[in-house]
Structure formats: C-alpha cells, structure tokens
Structure 1
Amino acid sequence: MIKGEIQLEGKRVRLIPMSLEHLDGLFEASNQSEIWKYSPSEVSKPEHLEMNKKIELRDQGLGYPFVVFDKDVNEIVGSTSYMNISERDRKLEIGGTWLHPKVWRTSVNTECKYLLLKYGFEELDLVRVQFRTDARNERSNRAIQRIGAQLEGTLRQEMIMHDGHFRDSNVYSILDKEWDGIRDKLLGYLSNG
C-alpha cells in the first residue's frame, strides 16, 4: 500500500520515517513517566522503544512508524505510526502515538493527525482509519473525539498493561465519506492555533 519512503510536513511538524539513527532523540523525548501511564509498555531503556520491531513491520508492509519532529524547537518530540495496514480492505489504524508532555495541548498532535489522515484518504485512497485508546485515558479520548472520529465501542480486557492492569480499549473510526468535514475542522483548528 505504501510505496517507498514518505515524509509528511506541516507548518510545525515533520513526520519522518523512523530509522535507528533516531534512537537517541526518541529515547530522550520518551524519558517522561507520564507518557506511559496508559501504555501497554513502559520505556525506561532504549530497547523498550522496540524500533527494530516497528521497522520490520514497515518492511513487511504491515506498519509505518514515524518520528515526530517539532520544527519550532528543532528536536524530536515523539512518535506515531500507521498500524495494522490492510491493503485489501483499504484501511489502517493510526496509533502508537506518544508525545513529550511539553507539546501536550499544542498544535503538534492536531497537525500530526491532519497529515496522517490527509495522506491516508487522499493519497492511499483509504476507506477507513481507526484509532484505539485506553478507555481510562480521558485526554486521548477527548482528543480523538475532538477531531471527529466516531466511537464504535469498547474492547473489554483487550490487552495487559505493563503494570498488569487489563486494559479496555475504546475504538474510534473515520470513514472516507466523513473526511471532507473532518479535514475542514482540523484546518480550522490549525489556523486558530
């Protein structure tokens, strides 16, 4: 589905294909415990970023991990990915997203989602994009709802977290027929902030 290397760029962020040369920058950005509160993994060592596994999934056409580079501060501030890619069904999931707390409540996440959705619907010709998040993670649930994704339901005890908690995951989606309205909403958010 995704051919070659893609780099997505907006006013503030650049989404760069993940490579091992980004390890130091990613680990430095990830070294904040509050990032991992609702994550299945906890990053306390560079190998916990599982970069080799993510790059291997990209090579298999099943995922596409990006490094989030904030042009305002000229540094890596997180990561996001296309996941669970299905070329046959023209769908994928946007996930594995984490950002340094210093860019929370800024335009960084909104612009990342805009760039990923735009490329997905307009270049990859997707019919569905999905998001999953911990049902307890109010900040992420609000952010996904704010962009216009529809809540489809909750997967109960979908995964076991790094602390042993059984996570319930909320599943959201955006369909191709909804993209025009969501694109306009996201562009409005980005022009105001």
Structure 2
Amino acid sequence: MPAPVMLHGRIVRLEPLAPHHVPGLAGAAAALRGPAEFTVVPHGEQEARTYVFQAEAAQLAGTALAFAIVTIEEECVVGATRFTHLDYWRGPLTWPLSAEPVAAGPSGAIPDAVEIGNTWLTPTVRGGPVNLDSKLLLLTHAFDSWGVRRVTLRADARNRRSRAAIERLGAVSDGVRRAHSRGLDGAVRDTAFYSILHDEWPGVRERISEQLAARAALRRAPLIPTTADAWRALAAPIG
C-alpha cells in the first residue's frame, strides 16, 4: 500500500483525510441541504467523524487512500476524493494457481492499476476548476509517480453530471455494467465504467491543462457591458 501523500495544485491541495478535517467536511456537506443522491456524503460532525474513521480504516487495510479537497486561496475544505480498488499485478500468471487468497499489497507497494472515486464537492465549486485540478493531481500521481497502467473511473449510470465530467477529462467508456450494485436510494443501479490507460495519459493531461487554462483566462477577462449606455461609451471616439 502506498504511503499517504499531500498533493499540491494551483487551485486545490489534496490532504490525507484526517480528524482535523471533520468540521470542514461537515460545513461543505451542509450546503448540499440533504442526502446525496449518488455518492456517500457525511452530514453533520458525527457523520463526518465516522466518514474519516472509515477512510482511515480503509487506508490501514490497504484498500484506499482518501483526501480532503482544500482550496488554496481560501484554505477551505470543499469536498473529498480518494484512490480506491488498488490492484497489484504480481508477475506472470503461473499454473497451477495458488489456493492462497491474494492479499493487498505490502506496505509501500505500488499499484499497477487504481480507481479514482468517492468524490463529492460542495455545490459552489461544482462544474468549475476545483474538480479539474483535483483530477489532474490524482492522475499525475497515479501515472507519473506510481506508473500505473490504468486508472478507472465510474458513476451511477443515472448520474449524468458525473458522467459528463468524466467524459470531459478524456476518459474512454468501457461500457455500462447492468444491475451492478445497490444504489444509495436502494434501487439496483447500472454502473458506467470509464478508463484512462498509461499511453493515453499525455493526451488527457494536455486536455485537462487546456481546460484549466481556458477557465483561468475567463476569470481574468473584463466584464462585458450589458447596457446600451455602456456599449455607446465603448464605441465613442477617444479625444
């Protein structure tokens, strides 16, 4: 299991999820005003404490690395995300197969494939650069630091917003697994799977970087006049 790491971006910082994030998580989730439809989100400090405890337990078990998403400018927790389903390919296939169960990788082991998931954001930062910067940090760490061969992303097939966000990254659809699991609403859900392969990563990285640059340029652009008087002032000759 890889060691926890802090990832620094231009817009956000991904910090290993810890008890001191509980108030921030509760505050970020409060803006959702009710239970999340597709992703587990902790409401209130008690749920946030349980959320962090379970994330730490998953890390100790070698099954996940969870992060708090913290904005750099405001130093504010705006959500959470994690690496999960870490997959270790242990050399060539041998025959006969061993009867022993395959355990999680040992401490410090580097995965060959991983999933990015369990991501949620407070509404004010959805659809903006926060998710892009977070995904760029996670993907860069997975492909460039760990050297994984594949990153998987998935979403409830009904979650059109998340699926659109994944597709904007440049991830490739691997299809929809029907009746894959039970959803948070109790219904049997179909799950849409996507992946990014090692050889596809340079193109995806460039795509995300271009989207971040375009959003940054938009924020720097001057306001467009919206009244007739303002337009006439701009059109008037100088001098």
TM exceeds 0.5?
A: yes
Give the Å deviation of 1:67: 0.2
Does the alignment pair 1:138 with 2:160? yes
Higher strand share: 1
Give the Å deviation of 1:35: 7.1
Structure 2 partner of 1:6: 5
Question: How many residues were matched structurally?
Answer: 191
Does the alignment pair 1:102 with 2:124? yes
Cα distance in structure 2, aligned partners of 1:180 and 1:34: 39
Q: Which has the larger radius of gyration?
A: 2
Report 1:70-149 matches (<5 A). Answer: 70-88=71-89, 90-149=112-171
- Give the aligned CA root-mean-square deviation in angstroms: 1.7
Partner of 1:36: helix, strand, or coil? coil
**Offset from partner CA, 1:38-71 (integer Å, 9 cap, x none):** 22x4533444442212111112221100000012
Q: TM-score, normalised by structure 1?
A: 0.92
Does the alignment pair 1:170 with 2:171? no
Give the Å deviation of 1:28: 1.2
Q: TM-score, normalised by structure 2?
A: 0.75
Cα distance in structure 1, aligned partners of 2:114 and 2:46: 26
Q: Percent identity?
A: 31
Q: Give the stretch that moved more between structures: 154-163 or 107-116.
A: 154-163
Does the alignment pair 1:179 with 2:204? no
Partner of 1:25: helix, strand, or coil? helix
Structure 1 partner of 2:23: 24
Runs of 4+ in 1 over 3 A off after TM superposition: 41-49
**Offset from partner CA, 1:102-128 (integer Å, 9 cap, x none):** 001210000100000001000001000
Structure 2 partner of 1:60: 61
Partner of 2:180: helix, strand, or coil? strand
Does the CA-based 8 Å contact 1:42-1:162 persist in structure 2? no
Q: Give the stretch that moved more between structures: 111-120 or 156-165.
A: 156-165
Cα distance in structure 2, aligned partners of 1:109 and 1:165: 27
